[in-house]
Chains A and B, each alone.
Chain A
Amino acid sequence: MRLQFIIIVPFLLLILMAIFLPATSAHAVSKSYKRTVEKYNIPDIALVNQDGKKVRLQSLLTGDSPVVVDFIYGTCTTICPVLSAGFVNLQGKLAVTSQKARLVSITIDPENDTPKVLKEYLKRYHAKPGWDFLTGSRTDIDIVMRAFNAYIPDKMSHYPLNMIRSPKDGSWIRLFGIMSSREFMEEYQSAIVKQ
């Protein structure tokens, strides 16, 4: 009995902390990522999605709804799970308020990432429609990476990057680094309400 009580104490404290955690405290912490606003020229090329369908990148990325882009690959170990968890989370949050966004992951390992690999990856993350994963020829993938100023010569030296396109003026918020889900959501909101 007593032992149990002693064990519980720290948890009670934690609960109290959680309840009274000042809503703004996180702002005091310096940001763990870098943010810039950019203009990109999306190349007019065709990539292949998880269903094996050819898609034109320009029309996919320049619609009326917000777009979030990242560069990942099917067998990536550390940062792709983190980025993809962010996508899943965003999809869930947006679904609650029935907002629409287009999430686009582009592979940086086009040789291994066949449509089948892409499809299985999305399934593993319980992705909902609206999140596409694209592959293509190495030449085309290189063109896309360059267009986003994100050319990665070798997939093993990639880095965490998210780009959010504002449908209002077509500008992109470029987020370099791993951020908390709250920060990511804030950035997303700021992109879509932008004037």
Chain B
Amino acid sequence: MKHHYSTVRITFLISVLIVLLFFLTVTSLFAAAPLPQAEIMRLGERMYREGILPSGTPMPAFIRGDIEVDSRSFSCSSCHLRAGLGSFEGGVVTPPTTGNKLYKPYRRPPSLGDKSDQAGRFIYAKTVLERPAYTRESLATAMRFGTDPSGQTFNDVMPRYPLSDHDMYILISYLEELSSKPSPGANSGEFKFATIISDDVNQEDRQTLLMPLEKFIAQKNQQMGMYNDFIKFGYTPTADMQFAFRKASLDIWELRGPPETWKEQLTTYQNNNPVFAVLGGISNLDWRPIHDFCEAERLPCLFPITDFPVVSETGWYTYYFNKGYAQEGEAVASYLNRLETLPIRTTILQIIQDSPVGKTLASGFQNSWNELGRPAVITKTLTTNELRNKATLGKLLKKYKPGVLLLWTDAELLTNLPKLISQLSDPKMVFVSSGYLGNKTSTIVEASRNKVYITFPFRLTPYVGPKTGGFDAKVPILTGSKDFGDRRIASRSTTMLQQATLQGLNLIYDNLQRDHLFDVMSMQMDVVVRDYERLSFGSGQRYVSKGCYIIQLGPGVEPTLLPKSGWVIH
């Protein structure tokens, strides 16, 4: 015990000495660092987001009293979030940390956390209800020693940062700029939106996408009118109401010609009339040029209808429903990986139709399979013509005698399935994609159905709409074979609008920063929607539906869908 206390004291002593040392070596407190502004912002952002000091070394911090942590594990943005406007998570209220808010006196709105023990739970609200405005000096003290300008000490969650004056100058300069201005495309009275449609999309799909969007904009503007009348008649709006009513406009960004030219077209649109966010959109081609544009512009793009999203762990500015075809391929890898009945030596043959769909399904499978540490499978990419020639596949099967066949091909091959299956060795399993086969999926011949495993990335359990509204509230909607090939454009666009507004735009209040919109949206609870079993969120999570069933078909022309796996397979 005794030994333990002295370690605490020594650690504390050392940290104080470190700070002291900096004070001795750096003579000027807050004299401008000799760096261009852009460089200060870049370095400050790296400290704030990645926990790396301007010198490139990890930023040291002390948490829960004396635990020294490496800020690469978690940094300011973990808790205060990217836009710096704070968070509420796990019972902990993390206050804003932007210059705008810090340099003003702060009075925390009363909250549940005012009682430290709520029904047996501790809530770690900000310890102080009220504090005076910070100055640069008191802000530095707050970060070094954990006390606010009135001398109150922060709770154990906020780390202490022994930073040199030089580094502190950079960090504070960054905080001063952070979320200091509204993002383009928004002001207190209006949001400007766009949606994106590429010219390969047919007229019907285009209309299906636009209908709910245009209705949404019309509604917003009509509500705005009602709200104005409401005020005219002398009612005082509540704080929330002010922010729920804003005018809205929608531009349609049409993309024409080859995807290589999209970036230029998008830039022109955005320069002519900057928007705050892109509400959905649709393309049958690779979404990458749009994804990259939104990353570069830091422009939110919310839930576009695409089967070719960019699968990336670091992408920030596009929310996708899921990983599209890649997710179907991944599901097969996870399923096979967990299949205990599969003999270890089973040969897996992967046939890829040389098309964007075939290749994306295969890359989803392969990436996952590699990550699982499995040996490469035999892979053959065939042109559509080669595939149509029955002999080509027959030869391959004869040669490799696979027990598992991954058939990333379109529906043309379905009639040939019984023949193919007869050429497999045990356990004779064939995997196909319901996305690629579309509405033909249900035509798989009955005799083969118990050998064919189908990826299905949509809801299977009955969907019951929200209790509070909608005419579909009471009748559970059941997924059936009729849903193969459904593009789900209208339902998913409606989900997108609910997400964007109810969970995003209405909750950002007067903090009109695009990053804040993402912070708010990423901290929401799970939601159950019509097309997917569950959407779930979290900081940096950008594919909100994580599941994909492996199913088989029951008998008959309208077969029931029989799940062979859970929604998510680990």
Q: Are A81 and B73 in contact (CB under 8 A)?
A: yes
Which of A11, A21, A85, A157 is in CB contact (< 8 Å) with B525?
A157
Which residues on A sit within 8 Å (CB–CB) of B124? 178
List B residues 157-206 near A (Cβ within 8 Å): 157
Q: Are B65 and A176 in contact (CB under 8 A)?
A: no
Which of B1, B121, B523, B534 is in CB contact (< 8 Å) with A176?
B121
Q: Is A185 an interface residue (CB 8 A)?
A: yes
Which residues on A sit within 8 Å (CB–CB) of B566? 137-138
A77-B568 contact given A159-B121, A178-B157, CB 8 Å threshold: no
Q: Are A124 and B64 in contact (CB under 8 A)?
A: no
Q: Are B90 and A18 in contact (CB under 8 A)?
A: no
Which of B16, B17, B73, B90 is in CB contact (< 8 Å) with A78?
B90
List A residues 91-136 near B (Cβ within 8 Å): 109-112, 114-116, 124-126, 135-136
- Which chain B residue has the least Cβ–Cβ distance from A125? B73
List B residues 107-135 near A (Cβ within 8 Å): 117, 120-122, 124
Distance A180 CA – B6 CA, assembled complex (angstroms): 15
A76-B89 contact given A14-B16, A19-B13, A112-B536, CB 8 Å threshold: yes
Which of A77, A89, A159 is in CB contact (< 8 Å) with B78?
A77
Q: Are A75 and B373 in contact (CB under 8 A)?
A: no
Distance A136 CA – B13 CA, assembled complex (angstroms): 44
Which residues on B sit within 8 Å (CB–CB) of A158? 90
Which residues on A sit within 8 Å (CB–CB) of B525? 154, 156-157
- Interface size bracket, B side: 35 or more
Which of B70, B94, B570 is in CB contact (< 8 Å) with A135?
B570
Which residues on B sit within 8 Å (CB–CB) of A19? 9, 13
Q: Are A136 and B72 in contact (CB under 8 A)?
A: no
A178-B64 contact given A137-B568, A159-B91, A185-B4, CB 8 Å threshold: yes
Which residues on B sit within 8 Å (CB–CB) of A172? none
Total contacts A to B, CB within 8 angstroms?
174
Q: Are A77 and B64 in contact (CB under 8 A)?
A: no
Q: Are B94 and A85 in contact (CB under 8 A)?
A: no
Which residues on A sit within 8 Å (CB–CB) of B524? 156
CB distance from B368 to the nearest CB of A (A): 9
Chain A: residues with Cβ within 8 Å of the partner, total of: 62
Distance A109 CA – B546 CA, assembled complex (angstroms): 11
Interface-centre pick from B23, B89, B120, B546 (highest chain A CB count, 10 A): B89
Q: Are B570 and A11 in contact (CB under 8 A)?
A: no
Q: Is B79 an interface residue (CB 8 A)?
A: yes
A18-B16 contact given A125-B73, A157-B525, A159-B91, CB 8 Å threshold: yes
Q: Are A111 and B536 in contact (CB under 8 A)?
A: yes
Which residues on A sit within 8 Å (CB–CB) of B81? 77
Q: Are B538 and A109 in contact (CB under 8 A)?
A: yes
Which of B91, B540, B570 is in CB contact (< 8 Å) with A137?
B570
Distance A20 CA – B35 CA, assembled complex (angstroms): 42
Q: Is A28 an interface residue (CB 8 A)?
A: no
Contact with A along B423-445 (1 / 0, CB 8 A): 00000000000000000000000
Q: Is A179 an interface residue (CB 8 A)?
A: yes
Which residues on A sit within 8 Å (CB–CB) of B117? 34
Which residues on B sit within 8 Å (CB–CB) of A138? 566-568
- Which chain B residue has the least Cβ–Cβ distance from A109? B538
Q: Is A37 an interface residue (CB 8 A)?
A: no
Q: Are B66 and A177 in contact (CB under 8 A)?
A: no
Which residues on B sit within 8 Å (CB–CB) of A124? 72-73
CB distance from A32 to the nearest CB of B (A): 7
Which residues on B sit within 8 Å (CB–CB) of A15? 13, 16-17, 20
Q: Are B546 and A18 in contact (CB under 8 A)?
A: no
- Which chain A residue has the least Cβ–Cβ distance from B141? A10
Q: Is A41 an interface residue (CB 8 A)?
A: no
Q: Is B2 an interface residue (CB 8 A)?
A: yes
Q: Is A195 an interface residue (CB 8 A)?
A: no
Distance A160 CA – B92 CA, assembled complex (angstroms): 9
Q: Is B74 an interface residue (CB 8 A)?
A: yes
Q: Is B396 an interface residue (CB 8 A)?
A: no
Which residues on B sit within 8 Å (CB–CB) of A78? 78-79, 87, 89-90, 92, 94, 157
Q: Are B78 and A182 in contact (CB under 8 A)?
A: no
Which of B16, B20, B78, B570 is in CB contact (< 8 Å) with A136?
B570
Q: Are B570 and A85 in contact (CB under 8 A)?
A: no
Distance A18 CA – B16 CA, assembled complex (angstroms): 9
Q: Are A159 and B67 in contact (CB under 8 A)?
A: no
Which residues on A sit within 8 Å (CB–CB) of B229? none
Distance A116 CA – B373 CA, assembled complex (angstroms): 11
Which residues on A sit within 8 Å (CB–CB) of B89? 76-79, 156
Which residues on B sit within 8 Å (CB–CB) of A156? 89, 523-525, 537
CB distance from B342 to the nearest CB of A (A): 15
Contact with A along B512-527 (1 / 0, CB 8 A): 0000000000011110
List A residues 1-39 near B (Cβ within 8 Å): 4, 7-8, 11, 14-15, 18-19, 21, 23, 32-34
Q: 20 A-B pairs, CB-CB below 8 angstroms? A: A4-B23, A7-B23, A7-B29, A8-B23, A15-B17, A23-B5, A34-B117, A52-B337, A73-B538, A75-B541, A77-B89, A88-B73, A110-B570, A116-B371, A126-B70, A137-B568, A138-B566, A155-B536, A159-B91, A180-B64
Given contacts A109-B536, A156-B524, A178-B92, 12 further A-B contacts (CB under 8 A): A7-B23, A11-B23, A14-B16, A32-B155, A34-B122, A79-B91, A81-B78, A115-B570, A126-B70, A158-B90, A178-B64, A179-B64
What is B's interface to A at a CB cutoff of 8 Å?
1-2, 4-6, 8-9, 12-13, 16-17, 19-20, 23-24, 27, 29, 63-67, 69-70, 72-74, 78-79, 81, 87, 89-92, 94, 117, 120-122, 124, 155-157, 337, 371-373, 523-526, 534, 536-541, 546-547, 566-568, 570
